[in-house]
A and B are shown apart, each in its own frame.
Chain A
Amino acid sequence: MTASLATSQAPAGRRRSTRRRLGPVGTSVLGAVIGLAFLIPLWWTVVNSLRPGDETFRYLNPLEWRTFFTLTPTLDNYFALLDTDLGRAILNSLFISLVTVVVGLVICATAAYGLSAFKFRGQGLVFSVIILSFLIPFDAIAIPLADMFRDWNLQNTFFGLILPGLGNGMAIFLLRTFFLAIPEELVEAARLDGLGPWGVFRRIYLPLSVPALIGAGLMLFLFQWQAYVWPLLMGTDRDHVVGPVALSNLQGQFAVDYGVLFAASVILILIPLAIIIGFQRYFIQSVSTTGLK
């Protein structure tokens, strides 16, 4: 297939192309196959969220069309969620995550700027501290941190749930990586135009790093969206319950209704999914395309 495509497209380099180049159709097919392979486990989950829980494991092996499809989809599992704390938990998680993303991006982006746009003594040390901060496993130091937070009376508060998400060394590291790629000439030109350090940050660095900012934002978002151990330590009364805790609460100690569990996870996946797809178009922007305008 690649051979025929290559001939029609580039007769001069035929030999080379047949061997080494995948035509656009070949690329599309390969891309689609891989994408769909990644989707299979989730597709199975979605299908089973539309089925009664006692049928979850019925069509596993041997494979048949019913493994991945159902002719009688039902929303019962989703309606069952209305009686749980999941709705409240999703709103709480969304609030916590959004505040974390907004505040966290400001903190991390300014830090990355301070680290990449200036040269000063001790820079290496500061960078090492930031690297060290994300080598420390958060779940392992959560116990001493929770003791500190209890002294400050932060149990069962949104503040106590949001705070740990703000210090994200990995997001700073990511932003620094991309900030270093910003052309000096642009910065110099902006300086000549009279922009101060803050102006350079706002007018040059931020607009030129949209993909990296999205990446860092997603990192901050997922830290909170999937937070589980920390909220349990901080206390999760009904007003402060978060998504993953509500999800685990659906698993009773004697039995799990996988239909309901999968329905809840589909809902929990939808929000990050919307974010990932919604921000896809900004990924095309880059230093080379936006920076030269």
Chain B
Amino acid sequence: MKRSRALLLAGVAASAVLLAGCSAPAHSGSAGDGSGTVRFLGPEDPATFAPVIAAFEAEHPDITIDYTQVPFDQYSSTLQQRLGAKDDTIDVYAVDQPNLSQLAAQGFLEDLSDLSDEAKAATSSAQFEINQYDGKMWALSVWNSTQMLFFNRDALAAAGVEAPTADPAARWTWEQTADAGRAAQAAGTQYGLLLEQVEAYYQLQPLAESLGGGSGITGDDMLTVDVTNDGWQQAMAWYGDTFESGLSPRGVGGFQTAPVFIDGNVAFFVGGPWDVGRFASDAKFDWGVAPMPYFEGGEVATPTGSWSWGVNTASKNKDAAREFIEFAALDPAGALATTEATTIIPSNTEAAAKYLPGLEELGGEHAAGVADLITYEIEETAVPRPVSVGYVQFESAMNTAFADIRNGSDPAARLEQATTQIQDAWKKLR
């Protein structure tokens, strides 16, 4: 009895040493001198971060993580207000990646440049670059994302259309997708094509990128609007037409798009990895996954980016705060724990390699090939959102422009108007 307990204790001690050994490289920066409570602010359900917090606290008994959720729709503004007031009740916070430069420029993010080498080794180059502003690194990438083309195999079969495959080499064009969607509509499916975030820059940027329109922001200081070039105009004309022609439904907003696919009312649906698990449990028909399309004769471009975590400059517990984000971003075990309770891709390359097969399994036979597809897109075709201090104003104006174009506004005139609006808003930044 005593003997076995001693053995057990020895075993625990040994594994603790081993664990410490494993994670040592990740912690070399701060030598593990943090303690106390780290207050962490993010837009996710507490259950999402429970695994990573538990894993971290097990390794760092001196540190407690106190997580507060702020609703997603008010997250950026709440953050802006509270950080602006030097609120020291926030130590670590989740950073929506395109907002990073604005937060850094205002001095709300602690400089993490000393971790650059480790960060570079841990993630893809796009995910490393996204945290750079003004030559310094301000946050660590925790999550990543991409978009795929989901399709209703039954609806396509009814129309006699051969379904696409998950092979990036056999990627469909938008023209091809629209034609197949119309064929499905003719065969009785209500709609042909629907994008999950119908009015969001994140999902629509690749349309313009594919036609050579660029991100819409140029210049040395990334404060020059460029959304009226041929690429943007063509992309938006095509996009507006998908609604005008009835291929896509108007007036179905935000979170109500995925249910349209689940209810079998649309042939093609462009969505993210989070839809894989959802469709697997809710969709009662045969569906599949294919690469996100591109325009005929154009470039292949897919959305990417998600959340990084950073340390508040007003924090009074920066050492412990740093240890926590290093664990979540640089330590593969920690990174994997951040995605344990949700379906999103960890930015950490090693963690992603472990995570993706599980995602594919979750999707069952319908999601065959999804792990390889996601890995390919992240490495080869991902085009990040532009890094600019004016991104927030840009995105806000673009999203209303997308909404108007969807409802029938003339794309060329509306892009012109958006340009003026963005220029007006940017004048105030300088």
So, do A and B actually touch in the complex, CB under 8 Å? yes
Interface residues of A (CB under 8 A from B): 54, 56-58, 83-85, 143, 146-147, 150, 155-156, 228-229, 232-233, 235-238, 245, 248-256, 258
| Contacting residues, chain A, for B70 (C-beta < 8 A) | 232, 236, 245, 249
Please state if B85 and A249 are interface contacts (CB–CB under 8 Å). no
List B53-91 residues whose CB lies under 8 Å from chain A: 66, 68-74, 78, 81-82, 85, 87, 89
| Docked pose: A54 CA to B263 CA in angstroms | 8
B78, B256, B282: the one contacting A232 at CB < 8 Å is: B78
**Given known A143-B81, A147-B85, contact A232–B68 (CB-CB < 8 A):** no
Q: Chain B nearest CB: distance from A111 CB in Å?
A: 31
Q: Chain A nearest CB: distance from B189 CB in Å?
A: 15
The 9 closest A-B pairs by CB, nearest first: A248-B71, A54-B282, A254-B274, A256-B255, A253-B72, A57-B259, A232-B78, A237-B68, A249-B69
Please state if B81 and A235 are interface contacts (CB–CB under 8 Å). no
Please state if A155 and B89 are interface contacts (CB–CB under 8 Å). yes
Q: Chain A nearest CB: distance from B393 CB in Å?
A: 18
| Docked pose: A252 CA to B71 CA in angstroms | 8
| Docked pose: A256 CA to B73 CA in angstroms | 12
| Docked pose: A155 CA to B87 CA in angstroms | 9
| Contacting residues, chain B, for A150 (C-beta < 8 A) | 85, 87
B45, B78, B89: the one contacting A233 at CB < 8 Å is: B78
Please state if B44 and A252 are interface contacts (CB–CB under 8 Å). yes
Most interface-central of A58, A229, A252, A258 (chain B CB within 10 A): A252
Please state if B78 and A251 are interface contacts (CB–CB under 8 Å). no
Chain B: CB-nearest residue to A261: B255
Please state if A255 and B87 are interface contacts (CB–CB under 8 Å). no
B43 CB-CB contact with A under 8 Å: yes
| Contacting residues, chain B, for A84 (C-beta < 8 A) | 45
B45, B78, B87: the one contacting A249 at CB < 8 Å is: B45
B278 CB-CB contact with A under 8 Å: yes
Chain A: CB-nearest residue to B79: A232
Please state if B259 and A251 are interface contacts (CB–CB under 8 Å). no
Please state if B274 and A255 are interface contacts (CB–CB under 8 Å). yes
A57, A235, A255: the one contacting B82 at CB < 8 Å is: A235
Q: Chain B nearest CB: distance from A209 CB in Å?
A: 38
Q: Chain B nearest CB: distance from A290 CB in Å?
A: 45
Q: Chain A nearest CB: distance from B303 CB in Å?
A: 13
Chain A: CB-nearest residue to B306: A253
Please state if A146 and B71 are interface contacts (CB–CB under 8 Å). no
| Contacting residues, chain A, for B274 (C-beta < 8 A) | 254-255
Please state if A252 and B85 are interface contacts (CB–CB under 8 Å). no
Please state if A57 and B263 are interface contacts (CB–CB under 8 Å). yes
| Contacting residues, chain B, for A85 (C-beta < 8 A) | 46
| Docked pose: A57 CA to B46 CA in angstroms | 27
Q: Chain B nearest CB: distance from A19 CB in Å?
A: 43
B258 CB-CB contact with A under 8 Å: yes
B291 CB-CB contact with A under 8 Å: no
Please state if A83 and B72 are interface contacts (CB–CB under 8 Å). no
Please state if B47 and A251 are interface contacts (CB–CB under 8 Å). no
Q: Chain A nearest CB: distance from B201 CB in Å?
A: 15
Please state if A251 and B68 are interface contacts (CB–CB under 8 Å). no
B262 CB-CB contact with A under 8 Å: yes
**Given known A54-B282, A56-B259, contact A252–B45 (CB-CB < 8 A):** yes
| Contacting residues, chain B, for A143 (C-beta < 8 A) | 81
Chain A: CB-nearest residue to B90: A235
| Docked pose: A229 CA to B77 CA in angstroms | 10
Cross-chain pairs A/B with CB under 8 angstroms, 18 sampled: A54-B259, A57-B256, A57-B259, A57-B263, A58-B263, A84-B45, A155-B89, A229-B74, A232-B71, A232-B74, A235-B89, A236-B68, A237-B66, A248-B73, A251-B255, A252-B45, A253-B72, A255-B255
Please state if A57 and B81 are interface contacts (CB–CB under 8 Å). no
| Contacting residues, chain B, for A83 (C-beta < 8 A) | 47
Please state if A254 and B71 are interface contacts (CB–CB under 8 Å). no
| Docked pose: A249 CA to B263 CA in angstroms | 25
| Contacting residues, chain A, for B181 (C-beta < 8 A) | none
Chain A: CB-nearest residue to B281: A54
Please state if A146 and B85 are interface contacts (CB–CB under 8 Å). yes
B353 CB-CB contact with A under 8 Å: no
Please state if A251 and B74 are interface contacts (CB–CB under 8 Å). no
B272 CB-CB contact with A under 8 Å: yes
| Contacting residues, chain B, for A156 (C-beta < 8 A) | 89
Please state if A54 and B262 are interface contacts (CB–CB under 8 Å). yes
Chain A: CB-nearest residue to B284: A54
| Contacting residues, chain A, for B44 (C-beta < 8 A) | 252-253
Please state if B81 and A245 are interface contacts (CB–CB under 8 Å). no
**Given known A236-B70, A251-B73, A254-B272, contact A57–B260 (CB-CB < 8 A):** yes
| Contacting residues, chain B, for A229 (C-beta < 8 A) | 74
